[in-house]
A and B are shown apart, each in its own frame.
Chain A
Amino acid sequence: GENVEQHPSTLSVQEGDSAVIKCTYSDSASNYFPWYKQELGKGPQLIIDIRSNVGEKKDQRIAVTLNKTAKHFSLHITETQPEDSAVYFCAASSNDYKLSFGAGTTVTVRA
């Protein structure tokens, strides 16, 4: 099955700086890569996703890049704000729609 690895496990950044989270996956058949933000005691919230026919996608301060050859994808958050503090999960799925999640990254934005 799919194995998704996520790094780093924790990330502390100064407000206004950028945050980068990286994930790798094992199944070359994976074609959908969403990123979720989870706040304490809540369900995950989709923040951005990318499909295998695209190399990069951006939505305001958030961007995701995908390298299918190397089987890795990354989340970039620019101009971080305190409200960006949360746990972020990457995930991957193929045509069976089952999501395999990374272990999560706890992001802390210092004011």
Chain B
Amino acid sequence: GAVVSQHPSRVICKSGTSVKIECRSLDFQATTMFWYRQFPKQSLMLMATSNEGSKATYEQGVEKDKFLINHASLTLSTLTVTSAHPEDSSFYICSARKQGGPDTQYFGPGTRLTVL
């Protein structure tokens, strides 16, 4: 199998606070994890690529100081939304690629962030 989990599944926070989202590969080691953002009725937009032990690579237009990514182990990547504002409210989804495996990405269940 290839199971990816995310925690929390949903979070509501006040404007100005920071929120951390965890992404874990449960039954495989993931060299690379990806973070996506999805607005209602829209497609997935890649935010950043997270490689174990190195700095994340951010897509154009994504603020690296606002969306902090840490990939400390082969099974865990975290996304921290710093100083969250209502416009950061979205569905955040991670995916993982197996270490040494093909380019198949396995997605987590997503985290619904609501900033009041």
- A44 beta carbon closer than 8 Å to chain B: yes
Chain A interface residues toward B at CB < 8 A: 32, 34, 36, 41-46, 49, 89, 93, 97-104
- Quick check: B49 and A46 within 8 Å, CB to CB? no
- Quick check: B49 and A98 within 8 Å, CB to CB? yes
A49→B106 CA distance, assembly (Å): 12
- Quick check: B46 and A98 within 8 Å, CB to CB? yes
- B65 beta carbon closer than 8 Å to chain A: no
What is the number of residues of chain B that contact chain A, defined by CB distance less than 8 Å?
23
What are 15 A-B pairs with beta-carbon distances under 8 A?
A34-B105, A43-B4, A43-B110, A44-B44, A44-B107, A46-B106, A89-B43, A97-B49, A97-B105, A98-B34, A99-B34, A101-B43, A101-B45, A104-B42, A104-B43
- Quick check: B105 and A43 within 8 Å, CB to CB? no
Tell me the smallest distance from the CB of A90 to a CB of chain B, in Å.
10
- Quick check: A97 and B110 within 8 Å, CB to CB? no
Tally the A-B contacts, defined by beta carbons under 8 Å.
Answer: 50
A98→B44 CA distance, assembly (Å): 12
- B103 beta carbon closer than 8 Å to chain A: yes
A41→B111 CA distance, assembly (Å): 9
A55→B36 CA distance, assembly (Å): 29
Beyond A43-B4, A97-B49, 16 additional contacts (C-beta under 8 Å) are: A34-B104, A41-B112, A42-B109, A42-B110, A43-B6, A44-B44, A44-B93, A46-B105, A93-B103, A97-B103, A97-B105, A98-B34, A98-B49, A99-B105, A101-B43, A101-B44
Contact with A along B85-116 (1 / 0, CB 8 A): 00000000101010000111111111010000
